[in-house]
Structure 1
Amino acid sequence: MSDLGTRTPTDIDTELAGYYGERTALQQKLDAREKELARMVREPRYYSASSIPSYEAAIDQLEQQINTIRTKEIPLEQEWQRRQWTRAFIVTNVGGHVHRSLDCSTTFPTTSYEWLPQYSGHDEAEIVDAAGELACTICYPTAPASTLNKPSSIVTRDKAERDARRAEREKAAAEKAAKKAAKTVRHPDGLPTYGTYGYEADNITSVTSGSAQMVVDILDDASTQKKGGYPYDGTEGARAEEQRQRKADLAGKLRTNLEALAHFHGTTVDEQADLVREKGLAKYVKDYSWNEDMTAHQEELKALRKKNRDRKRAAGN
């Protein structure tokens, strides 16, 4: 241990505050064990006699741990006795007051405190000014009324921890929002964009996959129409109109998506159209081979892949 005479009041009291916290926690455990043991002795019919030795052993161990901490505290407290610097303590319950010692007449033996070593050795007027409305009027009887009426500026460990947790939550939320924003597609004119099944979506993955699926749907509709599945000659006017509307709707949504994707990636609509059609064609050729002869689509897909690779190489990607 370094020479106590060269250590600052804040340094010494910070160490003592740590010991106080450890000892308080152990004392609470000891009190609970002793109460339980007393109940065992008082009402033996509710307990097993074999439990008593283990409780007694636990109590002995807790007492030894407390005594070990007290041994560490003694030289530090002796240095305080020698120098008698100012101290400040705050009761840990809500609205707890700031006291100059741990034995104020307004508190109890069971009162729990948080040490405020950042104020150790400071002028008492400075401590009272920081405590504000939380200053104990018994400990600080000369505190000005103007000071006692203002909010406290003391940052307790509990508040600091709460603030730190809140800051972490806010940071995590900001990072999550930033990640979401980085993947969010926006049409330059504010038009809605669409994912799979035609639902509105703004995630880059959803909009891209939705666009590729639109290509698949357009190809499937064209194949069905080619085979006479959707007549456009007026013989089934209502159904034909429904299919025309579906075709126009798909084309419009796909165009909107392509414009949004071009805006997101900083490319042209034609480039996005080629990339999306490649994805859609690949899916159509794979999943709809039973539907039609894929020779022409396979040739188009091959050409599109080469075109997109060449464009990517030219861009240096």
Structure 2
Amino acid sequence: MTTRTAPAPIFTDISAATPAEIDYHLAHLEAESYQLDHGLVSLRRELGHAEEIAQGYGPRYGARKPRPVAEIAELIQNAEFRLTEIRHHFVTLNAEYARRGGWPRYYLVEDGHLHYDVSGSRCSRIPSTTHYWMTDFSGEDSAKVIELAGERVCTTCFPDAPVKPRPASVRFMTRTEAERAAYAEDKARKVAARKAAQITTPEGGELRVPRSFGGTDHVKTERAAWNRAMADATTIAWYGTKDSVAEREAVELCLAALAHRRGVTVDSLRTELNKKIATKGRREGFTVLATI
């Protein structure tokens, strides 16, 4: 059996650690302890099944071969030892908290208020409500926290907090809230980018250009307008002027919209477009029969 020593202390000098540092480790140790406890339940159940199967009468689940009994037993032993280490750290860290006479602690509820009381005796209830320990602010003066937390402050826990709405600092968000906010911001940015790329007629209406065989197309973006002008101008260059009324109208509408958007003249865009069509003709081996 492996001999294990006492865990090394988290702090070289715990008396020099800040409340935020101590509570940070306490919070992470609590989370790790919770995961280990639940993991042990599964491991012990797995061990029972593995022992039954090893004895030849246990139920078999699917085709997956169970882990060896010794391997599962070692995992359980390691988890139990880690829990012992965590309890040791709990005692040390909580003793320092008590030695200093305690310090302010703050807890945030998902989509709810910031509390200092999670005893269940006041407005904040556990375990029915999940609280997120805001360890970054442990030890901070409540006036500073009230200012930063804004409208998220619970006025029962903090009677001195103003009741009028005040925006909260982004630091007072749970991980889920921060992810939702980031998603909303990214979505708004994409919508703004699409809107910025939209193109209209000089009068501000939808840019609709005629098709060769009837009907119209809604051209929505600057890139689409230029591509449509190039496509129809290429058709005109290839076939000449015959039966190209719709294409010419489409090109003129696109150039007018592009000139308005870019703040240039239609003639400058027309010159640029004709040069590109000429280059395209030389590259692809066709004769330009007509320009726009």
- Coarse TM-score class (shorter-chain normalised): 0.5 to 0.7
Query: Given residue 253 of structure 2, which amino acid in structure 1 is its aligned partner?
Result: T
SS in 2 for 1:199: strand
User: For residues 251 and 198 of structure 2, what CA distance do their matches in structure 1 show?
Assistant: 17
User: For residues 109 and 46 of structure 2, what CA distance do their matches in structure 1 show?
Assistant: 26
1:63 matches 2:80: yes
Q: Can you give the 5+ residue segments of structure 2 that lack an aligned partner in the other structure?
A: 1-10, 147-151
CA deviation after TM superposition for structure 1 residue 271, in Å: 0.5
Partner of 2:271: 274
Query: Given residue 199 of structure 1, which amino acid in structure 2 is its aligned partner?
Result: D
Structure with the largest fraction of helix: 1
CA deviation after TM superposition for structure 1 residue 272, in Å: 0.5
CA contact 1:196–1:206 (8 Å) conserved in 2: no
1:28 matches 2:38: yes
Partner of 1:164: 178
Q: Quick one: structure 1 residues 156 and 202, their matched pair in 2 at CA, closer, same or farther if it must change by over 3 Å?
A: closer
CA deviation after TM superposition for structure 1 residue 270, in Å: 0.5
Q: Deviations over 1:12-60 (max 9, x none)?
A: 2222112222222222212221233234456751157863222111111
1:283 matches 2:280: yes
Which of 210, 215, 220 in structure 1 is aligned with 2:228? 210
1:187 matches 2:201: yes
The total of aligned residue pairs comes to 258
User: For residues 109 and 48 of structure 2, what CA distance do their matches in structure 1 show?
Assistant: 29
User: For residues 73 and 171 of structure 1, what CA distance do their matches in structure 2 show?
Assistant: 39
Query: Given residue 57 of structure 1, which amino acid in structure 2 is its aligned partner?
Result: E
User: For residues 249 and 99 of structure 1, what CA distance do their matches in structure 2 show?
Assistant: 72
Q: Deviations over 1:147-196 (max 9, x none)?
A: 9xxx9x99999952123212322332343344434543332213415599
User: For residues 78 and 172 of structure 2, what CA distance do their matches in structure 1 show?
Assistant: 29
Q: Can you give the 5+ residue segments of structure 1 that lack an aligned partner in the other structure?
A: 136-142, 226-242, 302-317
Q: Deviations over 1:218-260 (max 9, x none)?
A: 234436x4xxxxxxxxxxxxxxxxx4xxx33322221111111
Larger-Rg structure: 1
Deviates more, 1:40-49 or 1:203-212: 40-49
- The two structures have a TM-score, normalised by structure 2, of 0.65
CA contact 1:91–1:97 (8 Å) conserved in 2: yes
CA deviation after TM superposition for structure 1 residue 199, in Å: 2.9
